[in-house]
Amino acid sequence: MVLGFVCGIRGNLPAAELPKVAWQAEWEKTVKAAEQEGQLNFYSNGGTDGTLVDFQKRFSNIKVVLAPGRGGQVVSRLMAERRGGKYIEDVIKVGTGSAVSIYRSRPVPMQPMDSSFVLPEVTDKSKWWQGKHHYVDPEGKYIFSPCISQHIDLVSYNTELVKPTEINSYWDILNPRWKGKIVSLDPRSSGGREGGRLIYYHPELGPQFFKRLLSEMDIALSQDPRQAVDWLAQGKFVFLLLTSPRELLTAKEKGLPVNILDPRNLKESPVLETAASNMSLMDKAPHANAAKVFVNWLLSREGQISFQKSQGACDSARIDIPKEDVSPIHRRREGVKYFRVWDLEWMDVDEVRKFIDESLKEPQKG
């Protein structure tokens, strides 16, 4: 497109003789320097294997060294290395809570993401949902969210014991008929913590809903997602709260009588999440040019098609790519009022934990 535009001005000069625009010259220089570095160190909480394969196909002279782990493991490793004066990681991908814990270190051990943007299709915000780049941090610099998907982790159910049409609101599960028939991942644990924050800070649920759930419904708490899904499938419980949809959908695919309560059919505002896919560019990156190439490719149309597919639950915030591989239950919809669970003001897990502990100490009512 750029070359055609230049050719229209300069006549019929051969492409090799056309002057390069600034971004092209910078991009070629960056790619060459990245190939000389020869390596990218990528710390990730998983789900990126396909994307890394696609990146290696495009840039075969840049070897990706992957350091995988759960979000908390990535954070612990990164911070321990930095305390020891080691700067190993170039780019990281983690969930919101993990990204925020790194961001809250001072000084912030991250570079502004847009300092690496070169490709016009990346800097062009019209290619992105709501015409902007989305970040977790209030400065809008450090924690980039390429995926913004509908959250579906809140409630699952046994399809033989309840019909989804019986539940029109989350408040309906507080009906006394369901007392003793609800299991939840512990909202103080790593598996249930995000769901706990969601309930506590959701403007249509909040502490009032949480207190009734914990003090009136004789709720069972589990630390094991698979065990909780098994209990639901066996009919020991009617509802399961805060579980990973991956475990639940795997059980459903095996023919077990379980399903997710579709938030699109409930009256409360559905929730948007970043699908544990936040990206950050680290400061003092040992392979700064390779990191720059990776970030630009990842946020390009090609990169986001790959990333959306490999992440599974990811509805890319980039709007000029196909969405057929995104499950309808995860897709954003235009004209819907959403609650954004990832804003920094709703990241205080200590407040939520204290509230849960106090609520569980109260004697059961009813």
pTM of the model: 0.86
Q: Do 2-148+274-333 and 152-269+346-361 come out as alike in CATH topology? A: yes
* pLDDT of res. 19: 65
Q: What is the pLDDT along the chain (366 residues), one digit of tens a residue?
A: 333 323 333 344 444 444 678 999 999 999 999 999 999 999 999 878 899 999 999 999 999 999 999 888 999 999 999 999 999 999 999 988 889 999 999 899 999 999 999 999 999 999 999 999 999 999 999 999 999 999 988 999 999 999 999 999 999 999 999 999 999 999 988 777 888 888 999 999 999 999 999 999 999 999 999 999 999 999 999 999 998 788 888 999 999 999 999 999 999 999 999 988 999 999 999 999 999 999 999 999 999 999 999 987 899 999 999 999 999 999 999 889 999 887 777 777 888 889 998 888 877 766
Summarize pLDDT for 197-238 with one digit per residue, the tens: 889 999 999 999 999 999 999 999 999 999 999 999 999 999
CA distance 365 to 342: 33
* Domain boundaries along the sequence of the chain: 2-148+274-333, 152-269+346-361
* pLDDT of res. 4: 35
Nearest to 241 by CA among 302, 196, 294: 196
* pLDDT of res. 159: 97
Mapped to the 3 state alphabet, what secondary structure does the chain carry?
Answer: CHHHHHHHHHCCCCHHHCCCCHHHHHHHHHHHHHHHHCEEEEEECCCCHHHHHHHHHHCCCCEEEEEECCHHHHHHHHHHHHHCCCCCCCEEEECHHHHHHHHCCCCCCEECHHHHCCCHHHHCHHHEHHHCCCECCCCCCCCECCECEECCCCEEEECCCCCHHHCCCHHHHHCHHHCCCEEEECCCCCCCHHHHHHHHHCCCCHHHHHHHHHHHCCCEEECCHHHHHHHHHHCCCCEEECCCHHHHHHHHHCCCCEEECCHHHCCCCCEEECCCCEEEEECCCCCHHHHHHHHHHHHCHHHHHHHHHHHCCCCECECCCCCCCCCCCCCCCCCCCCEECCCHHHCCHHHHHHHHHHHHHCCCCC
* pLDDT of res. 218: 95
Query: What class has domain 2-148+274-333?
Result: alpha beta
The listed CATH number (3.40.190.10, 3.40.1380.10, 3.40.50.1100, 3.40.50.2300) that belongs to domain 152-269+346-361: 3.40.190.10
